[in-house]
Every structure is written in C-alpha cells, then in structure tokens.
Amino acid sequence: MATIAPGATAGDVTEAPSAPGPGSVRRREILEWIGVHTLAVTALLFFVLPFVFVLLTSVMSDQQTLTTDLWPRTWEWHNFVDVWHTAGFATWWRNTIVYATAGTLLTLVSSIPVAYALAHFRFRGRNLAMMVVVATMMLPPQVVIVPMYLFWAKQLHLSGTLWPLIIPLAFGDAFSIFLLRQFLLTVPKEYVEAAKVDGCGDLRALIRVVLPMSRPAIAAVALFQFFYLWNDYFGPQIYTSENPAAWTLSYGLGSFKSAHHTDWNLTMAATLLVMAPVIVVFFLAQKAFIEGVTLTGVKG
Amino acid sequence: MSAARHHRRLAAASAAVVLALTASACTGSSGGASDDPNAKTTITFWHGWSAPSEIKAIDENIKAFEKKHSNITVKAVSNITDDKINQALRAGGPKAPDVVSSFTTDNVGEFCTSGAFVDLAPFMKKSGIDPAQTFPSAQLDYTQFEGNQCSLPLLSDAYGLYYNKKMFAAAGISAPPKTLSEFDADAVKLTKSSGDSYAQLGFMPDYHGYESTITHFASQFDATYFDDNGKSTVADDPGLTAAYVWQKGLVDKLGGYRKLEKYRTTFGDEFGDKNPFMTGQVAMAIDGEWRGGMIDASSSPVDYGVAPFPVPDDRAAEYGKGYTSGTIVGIAHTSQKQNAAWEFVKFLTTDTDAVVSFSNAIHNVPSTKAALASDKVDPNPAFQTFLKIAQNPHSSTTPASPNGGAYQLTLQNVGYAYESGKNTDLSGALEKAAKQIDTDVAQAQ
Amino acid sequence: MTQAVTGTRGRSVQRPRTRAARRRRDRLRNLGFLSPWLAGTGLFFLYPLLATGYFSFTHYDGFTTPRWTGLRNWVFVTHDYPFFWPAMRNTLWLVLVVVTLRVVFGLAVAMLVLRLKRGGGLVRTLYYAPYLAPPVAATIAFVFLLNPGTGPVNVVLGHLGLPQPGWFNDPTWSKPSLTLLALWGVGDLMVIFMASLLNVPREQYEAASLDGAGALGRFRFVTVPHIRPILVFAAITGVIETMQYYTQPLIAGQVASGQIGGSGQQTEPGYPDGSTLTLPQLVYNLGFQRFDIGAACVIALVLFAFSMLFAAVLLRRGTGLLGED
C-alpha cells in the first residue's frame, strides 16, 4: 500500500536522463515544463471553476440571477442565512448528521467482526461467503428496493422515517466488510497467536490486539461510509419523501428549487451549504482518505 | 447432523420465511367507518398547496372547521405530490393521511378502482346531501369513476388567456384575440427578437412551457381521448390532430423550436415571483384562474388582462370556453377515523361560506352550485371571467382512466417529438400513441 | 473432556481437549462472528431478491393481492414499455464513453500530477475535491453552469463567438453533459492510478531508455504492463457503477426540464427526449410512480443479471479480490 506524501517527487516517473547535447536538453526541459504546467493549470481550471461560479452566483441578488452576468453586482451574503432559515433546511441538516453518524457507528460495530472472521478463520464456505460479499457490494440498490419498501412500509409502517436505512447497517455493510477484510489479511497471524497464548479468546484478541493496529483502515472505512451516507439520495428518496420532517440534505436539496420556487442564487447557496462540510472534513482528514482510496484499488 | 441435511433444512426454513413475508406484504390494512365523529380525535390532511398565500388560506379554512367541530383537530401537511399520496395510501399505518386532496383529476380513476379512496355516496346519504343538487354536473363527473363517487370537488380550475395590457397597447392591439389565427398574428406582433434570443416573446407555445400542454390546447378543439369502451381514440380524433398542427405552426412562426427552447431556459419557476408572464418575458400566457391572485400578491409590475383562450377559426361560436379541472378530495381507505374525516370533507366541500371564502382567498373557482350563486364571491372582473369560463357548457376536462395520467404523458411525448421536428409523421405517431395508451391501460388491470 | 489450565494471568481457562470439541467451539465462534452478516444477507438480500423474482410474474399494484400473470410483465417491459430499450441504449453509451474517458482522463491527470515537482500535493487535493461533492449538489451545480440561456459556460462561449450547445436541454448533448460531470469527479481514479504508477520500478525506465525507447515507448512497454491490472479493475468497477447510475441523470432531467413535479403534474422520465434514462430510473418510475410492481421487478431482475455478470468478470480477473492469508 503506497502512501503518497505531498510533494513527493515522482516527477521523473516516465522520465530518464539521456539525450545528446546540453543545449537541446535544456530547451526540451523548458518546453516540457511549460507544457506540463499549462496542462496542469488548464485541468485546475476545469476542477476549480465550477466551485467558483457556484460561489459567485450564490451571492447574487434575485434580480441578477436570471441574467447572463458572471460577476455579482452586489454581494448578498445573507443568501446563505436565508437558505439556512428556509423551511426545513436545519431539519435536513440534523437528519443527515444523525443518519450518517449512527449509520457509520453501526456499520463499524457490525462489519469488523465479520471482516475479521473472513480474514482469519478457516471454514468451509469461506470463499463462497467472500463471493457473496462481493456480489452484494456490486448490487444496485434498485434490484431489491421494491419488496424491501413494501416490507418496511406495509409490514412495519416505518416509511417516512430513516429507520429502514439505518437498521440494515446493524447487520454489516458489504463494502466496509470487503475493505476491512482486505486490510486485516495483512495483519500477521503472529500477533493474534501471541494474544491467544496469553489467554485471549478470539473476540478479545480482535479488540485488544488487532483493532489498535488497524486504526488507519478503520478510519478510512468510517470516512467512506460517513460520506456515502451523507451523499445518499436514493435511500432517502424512497423512504422519507412522504415526510418532510425526515428528509436529509441530499433529498432536500434535490427538491429545494421546486419546493421553494427559488431562483438559482438561493439554489446555488444551498448547494454550497451541502457541499461545504464534506470538503472541510476532507481537508482535515486528507491522509486517511487517500490511504483508504488506495486500499481499495491497489490490490490485484 | 450432516451438511447436506443441514443445508436442506436451512433452505426450507428460508423458503418458508420468504413466503410468509411476501404473503403478508400483500394484504393491506383497512380502516373503517365505525369511529364516533363526536369523539375527540386528530385527523391528518394532506394537500398540494405550497405558495405561502395558499397555505395561509387553507389553514384559515381549517381553523373555521375546528371552531365548528371543536372535538376534531386537523393536522395539515402541504406540498404533497401524487407520488407521495400513492405511496402513503399503500403503506397505511398510523402515519398515513385520513383526508387527501390532489390537484389532478387524473388519478381519480386509479383511486376509485383500486379502492384507495372510499366511496363517499353512503356518507353523503347519511348526511342528507344530494350530490346532484349540490355540485355542478361537470365537477361531479370528474370526481367519480365508473359509478364510484370516491372523491368530491374542492374548488375548481379554469384556464384562460392572460395578456399584458401595456404590451398590447404598444403593439396596437385593441382587444384580446378570439380566434387562433388572430392569436397567432398577435403573438407574432408582440414578439421582439434580440440577437439569437428575444427581448419579448408573444407567447411560449413549447410543451415544456408550464401550462402550455397538449391537453390544455386540445380542449379548445373539442378533442376526445377515449371511446365508451375505454379504448383510446387519439389516432382518429380530428380535434387532437388539429391542435398539434396548430401548435407546430405557431412554434415555427415565432422563431423555431431551438430559439424558443433556449429562451425557455431563462425562465424562473412557474409558481415563484419570476414567472415569465409576471416578469414581462412573455406577453401572453395560458394559465389558470389562480394566476391573477398571485400577480396581485406579488410585486410584479404587469398590468394584466384576462379573457377566454381563443378557439379555432371553425369553432368561433364556442368562444368563451376553456379547459377545466379541479382539486379533488377524498378519504383514505386505510383511515381509522372515516366518520371524523367525513365531517371535515363535508365542511370543505359543501359549507357554502367555507367554499366561498376559500375560493376568494386562493382565487379558485367555487365548486358548489350554492357557492357559485353566492353574492360573496369576489367581484374582481378577472376572476368573474374565469367563473364564466368554468360554467360555459362547451368547456371540457380530460377524462379519468384506470392508470391515472399516463395517457397524457404519452400524448405530451408525441408533442415533444413533433414540435422539435424530430418526428414529422404526426398520424403515425398518434397511431402508435393510441396503441401505447391501450396497452398501458391493459397492463394496469 | 476438558482440563482446567491456569493461564499466565492467573485465570482459569477451559481448553477443549478433543478435536471434535475444538471444531464445535470453532463453529460456534464462526457463527457468532458471522451471524449479523448472515442474518442481514438473508433478510436484505436473499429475501427481497426472491420476492422480486416472484412479483415479476404477478400483477400487483400495492393495494390488492398479487395476481399471477405469468410472462405478461416480461412481454410488456421488453415489447410495450417505450422507455426500456432507450434506457438500455443509454446504458451502453454511458458504459462505452464514460468508463473509457474516466479511465483515460484519470490516468492522464495522475501522470500530470506526478510530474509536478512543486505544489503536487496541493494540486492533487484540488483535483480530488470535486469527487467528494455530493452527487445531488454537483449535478445541480452543473445544470446551472450549463444552462443554455443564462449559464456561465454558454455566456463565455457566446462572448468568444463559439456555438452554444443546449447541454442538459438538448438530447444530443445531455449525455455528453453527464460525461463532463463524471469527469469532473475523476479524483478517485486519479489517486488510485497515482499509487499504481508510483509502484513501477524506476530501474525499468532507465533500462528502457538505455535501450533507446522514447517517452511513448517507455509508456507502452514499462508503464502499461505494470498498471494494467489496476486499469482493468478501474474499468470493471466503472462499468458496475454505470449500471447503478441513478441520481445524476434523474436530478439533471428534473432540474433542467423546469418541471416542478408539484401536485397534479406529470413527471417525464429521462428529459430531454428519453436521453438520460437509465435502468435504475425505470425501476423507480414503474414501482413508485406507476405502481406497476410486477414490471418494476422485471427491470430489477435485468439490472441484477447485468450487475452479477460484471461482478463475475471482476472476480475472475481481479485476482486478490478474494485473497488468501
């Protein structure tokens, strides 16, 4: 698992010293430098400009939003406050935090033992179990949504709440199980054996020895799950649409423009308010994030 | 125990569970009309109104009801779409609504046949209400399906022409157009191009343009959609075809589909303050009677006039008619408090004072004979125009069908393809649409 | 038979002495650790999957009890439902275009960042950030940016005298617009590729250039063979993600069409002109708008079949996915 330290010079990944004549080398290096940096700046514009324009529009006045002006004439910072006070926004915020936090905690508690078992226990059907994990990981939620909705709504009358989304996480989340298991495979058996010699049962060994060693992986999995739940649209759309008091930020934002008959300025302000927490947390937890991403892909 | 036997028992157990869960998922719970209407209770009322003025109006209506029936508290939920109604009615349970209202008459067919709404005839009989005496026949018609009166009208809508008086004067137009050829000419006169867009557009004919839908237009052409056997007639109906052809002609006269569509993307929300008619982006619009109230309540500078929407030249004698529809209200089959719910529905739909004051507040057409005749109805001439349109004998609505408004979507899709020029074979498209509509109806049964 | 043994912490531990006893203990332990997942898989995967299969052969509207209708729903979906084949074609388009472009663009950006000697870290962060934007927020932002009438992109194009496409409102441009949105969020692939590129041994580059290989040759014969597994992994998971593509096309269609979906309005799937339809959206349309639960389950099964097909491909090619210890 390779960690990428910021600024690590891998500048000559595909580059090698050679070529005849110091003059032409110099010129070629300068041209390459210019080329690379031009491309980098162009790409930077592509990735960053959308945020910039969203911000500029979010502070425009009502009059200005439907015009083709690019730069705000007045800076209506109160738009953000207006959006916050729009019916439901604070509720959506609260619901999303509850959903993402409770969901993440439940996921961790339920997925870690399963991942551990799949990594370290030998039993018949282990490969089958792993295949089922991968299969459920790749399963679009729409495949099973219809009977599941009927079950939660008609049997348990829990539609209009977030419970149908939170409760299943107490039974493990396939993606988290997969990631954790991949990581736990790399924990040498000797640690576990040593703990067992000391008299620990498997559960104790897991909790006291393996978990402390797995902090980066657990942090990465927690972050992934948190943001997956924060960004979830389909789940809340199906289960909470009939009860605005249970809406989350994603679903509320999707309905924001139509429900409040607003213009683009307020809609962009709302969009920023929904994007911002994720980006802020990312900046604070960059290393864990990137480590987690490499955990998923570099295998194989 | 051997592995094989273990697996077989596991399989059998899970199959049993699946069957049990699936079977019990199927039967819904049903309520009953056995509650005491005089007991203290709370009922839930879902409605589709969302503008602040409308919500204020319905809340006042509710307060008036609660004063008369102090034992019943009404909890109202606003901005409910038909999807949510459908979901909640199927789920049932304590959070499901008792009384539901919808802006569309389309789903009445589905609500009645599926039993989602209860038949209100027994309730009316118990309360001594004769529906034929109380409600205009058109309103009664679109709230029932195949003899089952599962809903009642809660105010009606009529569509007409809104026009910007100042722009009319500037273009030298002295009176609103009465025929469609006059209308087309006026629309062109009122259109001012500006580069590859418009400084002012006479009328937005595109089918995505809010209330510019094929069913609203086709009403002027006396289009029919189903025959007596429930089979679709859209392939042969001359009125419907003429409507599509007229609209396409107007699209071309005003600058073509692409230019119009691009202009349409600069419009604000239909029900917000930036409605294109209210900002002066279009000079004329087809809209419902509620629009006047919205303009009055807003800061829009538009000095608006109202008239019936023009009719085809060969139907000039029918001028004064328009497309009508209305809000419907019904009692959910899953409600445990149907008697209390009926008291509320009865108040909303038949109490003349309630109907008139609600109608004045949200500028909708009153839906009872008594209310229409009342002298308390808003005398605003624009509003009175719509009352006349609603009561015009030639005015029509779109019929209900067992699968809701699906056929209207099919016809809109024909429109989208035809107005953009993607499909130039209109009769072929309508034949396909007729087959599609019939298949969809069959599939829904 | 067990024997009490005093452990090093002075506690008494029962140690199973016979192999059978040990195996029983192991099986109980396995069950204990796995039981939540087993129950969950049964309840939230197996049961609904079987129920979906069952419902697909019935007519069920959510009110009355399901009625067996055999293959009628299957015929309806494949023959009479006008949105099914456009959705399949769209999925094929999205798979071919979006997955390919994301992999290529992601690799290009990864290589670009690795060549930046100074500021590489900051640039990498900025390139990655859009990936985190919640899909709803990102889609709404892009619909606004690409609004044909007032959006900044067309305003700038207009100033430059270039043609201004209809973006999300034009059937020919709606999928390319979604592609732009997908490329904006390429950060996750970029990071994976960067890690993979860094793992290529440098000596091989040196050896190759000593052998006379230019930049292109080094790329072809040194870089690609080493990163091929990760490229394949990215492609296959990309296909699986595309099968699930739901939120972005749905929101884009809704917001761009301006239809507010209020009470009494018809919802038009796949605006404009069915060009943004995807199979998951059809499940929602049939199951939660038309309440034709049988037909919705047919589409759900089609979706299931395709997803499992590609999952199987991944399992066979993606060595190390199952892993061993």
C44 touching chain B per CB within 8 A: no
A155 touching chain B per CB within 8 A: yes
Domain that residue A32 falls in = 23-80
Torsion of CA B171, B173, B174, B178, to 10 degrees: -160
Query: Distance, in angstroms, between A217 CA and closest chain C CA?
Result: 16
In A59-88, alpha helices (H): 62-65, 78-85
Share the mean pLDDT of chain A: 83
Query: Distance, in angstroms, between C118 CA and closest chain A CA?
Result: 6
Which residues of A are less than 8 Å from B279 in CB distance?
66
C229 touching chain A per CB within 8 A: yes
How does pLDDT run across B126-183, given as a tens digit for each residue? 999 999 999 988 888 889 998 899 999 999 999 999 999 999 999 999 999 999 999 9
Cβ of A157 and B77 within 8 Å?
no
- A13: in domain: no
Q: How confident is the model at residue A294 (pLDDT cuts 50, 70, 90)?
A: low
Residue C185, pLDDT > 90, answer yes
| Same-domain pairing of A66 and A172 | no
Whole-number pLDDT of residue C2:
43
**Last residue of some domain: A41, A60, A80?**
A80
Tell me the CB-side half-sphere exposure of residue B314, using CA atoms within 13 A.
Answer: 7
Q: Quick check: ipTM above 0.90?
A: no
Q: Which residues, in sequence order, are CB contacts of C148 under 8 Å at separation 6+?
A: B261, B262, B265, C154, C164, C165, C166, C167, C169, C170
**Domain locations in chain B as residue ranges:** 41-157+325-391, 159-323+400-443
Residue B400, pLDDT > 90, answer no
Specify the pTM.
0.87
Whole-number pLDDT of residue B356:
94
C42 touching chain A per CB within 8 A: no
Residue B77 in 3-state DSSP? strand
For tokens 């000596």, the residue is C203
Cβ of C262 and B271 within 8 Å?
yes
Find the mean pLDDT for residues C26-40. Answer: 87
Taking a C-beta distance cutoff of 8 angstroms, is the pair B444, C61 a contact? yes
| Same-domain pairing of A32 and A138 | no
Closest Cα partner for C267 from B52, B97, A255, B88? Answer: A255
Query: Distance, in angstroms, between C141 CA and closest chain B CA?
Result: 15
Q: CA of C44: which chain B residue's CA is closest?
A: B18
Q: How confident is the model at residue A6 (pLDDT cuts 50, 70, 90)?
A: very low
Residue A206, pLDDT > 80, answer no
Q: Which of A53-57, A215-219, B126-130, B150-154 has the lowest mean pLDDT?
A: A215-219
| Same-domain pairing of A50 and A117 | no
Q: Of the candidates A15, A131, A282, which has its C-beta nearest C132's C-beta?
A: A282
- Which of C77, C114, C118, C136 is most worth mutating to test chain A (most A CB atoms within 10 A of its CB)? C136
Q: How confident is the model at residue C47 (pLDDT cuts 50, 70, 90)?
A: very high
A259 touching chain B per CB within 8 A: yes
Residue B311 pairs in a beta bridge with B179
Residue C264, pLDDT > 70, answer no
- A56: in domain: yes
* Residue B228: Cβ within 10 Å count: 5
| Same-domain pairing of A73 and A95 | no
Find the mean pLDDT for residues C69-86. Answer: 94
C29 touching chain A per CB within 8 A: yes
Whole-number pLDDT of residue C263:
56
Q: Which of A294-298, B74-78, B216-220, C211-215 has the lowest mean pLDDT?
A: A294-298
Q: What is the C-alpha to C-alpha distance for residues C46 and C66, in angstroms, rounded to an integer?
A: 20
Tell me the CB-side half-sphere exposure of residue C174, using CA atoms within 13 A.
Answer: 24
Which residues of A are less than 8 Å from C230 in CB distance?
297-298, 300
Whole-number pLDDT of residue B357:
92
Cβ of C135 and A129 within 8 Å?
no
| Same-domain pairing of A129 and A51 | no
* Residue A37: Cβ within 10 Å count: 15
Whole-number pLDDT of residue C260:
59
Which residues of B are less than 8 Å from C161 in CB distance?
none
Q: Of the candidates C63, C257, C262, which has its C-beta nearest B50's C-beta?
A: C262
| Same-domain pairing of A92 and A198 | yes
Q: Of the candidates C46, C164, C292, which has its C-beta nearest B443's C-beta?
A: C292
Of 1.10.357.10, 3.40.50.2300, 3.40.1280.10, 1.10.3720.10, the CATH number of C83-317 is 1.10.3720.10
For tokens 């087959």, the residue is B435
How many domains, chain A?
2
Q: CA of A160: which chain B residue's CA is closest?
A: B95
| Same-domain pairing of A70 and A110 | no
**B154: which 2 tokens?**
């809660």
Which residues of B are less than 8 Å from C256 in CB distance?
265
Which CATH code fits B159-323+400-443?
Answer: 3.40.190.10
Distances (CA, A) of B281 to A62, A64, A253, A278, B302: 16, 15, 28, 39, 11
Cβ of B420 and C257 within 8 Å?
no
Torsion of CA C293, C297, C299, C305, to 10 degrees: 180
- A1: in domain: no
| Same-domain pairing of A151 and A53 | no
Whole-number pLDDT of residue B54:
86
Residue A298, pLDDT > 50, answer no
- The gap from C-alpha B108 to its chain's centroid, in whole angstroms, comes to 11
Find the mean pLDDT for residues A283-287. Answer: 79
Q: What is the C-alpha to C-alpha distance for residues C274 and C90, in angstroms, rounded to an integer?
A: 9
Taking a C-beta distance cutoff of 8 angstroms, is the pair A171, C44 a contact? yes
Find the mean pLDDT for residues A42-55. Answer: 93
Residue C321, pLDDT > 60, answer no
Whole-number pLDDT of residue C325:
37
Q: How confident is the model at residue C7 (pLDDT cuts 50, 70, 90)?
A: very low
CATH number at residue A227: 1.10.3720.10
Whole-number pLDDT of residue C302:
95
Residue B216, pLDDT > 90, answer yes
Residue C254 in 3-state DSSP? helix
Roughly how many angstroms between the first and final C-alpha of chain C, as a whole number? Answer: 32
Distances (CA, A) of A257 to B24, B270, B331, B395: 39, 11, 30, 34
Share the mean pLDDT of chain B: 88
The superfamily in CATH containing domain B41-157+325-391 is Periplasmic binding protein-like II (3.40.190.10)
**Domain locations in chain C as residue ranges:** 16-73, 83-317
Residue A17, pLDDT > 70, answer no
Whole-number pLDDT of residue A9:
41
How does pLDDT run across A126-163, given as a tens digit for each residue? 888 988 998 898 899 999 999 999 999 988 989 889 99
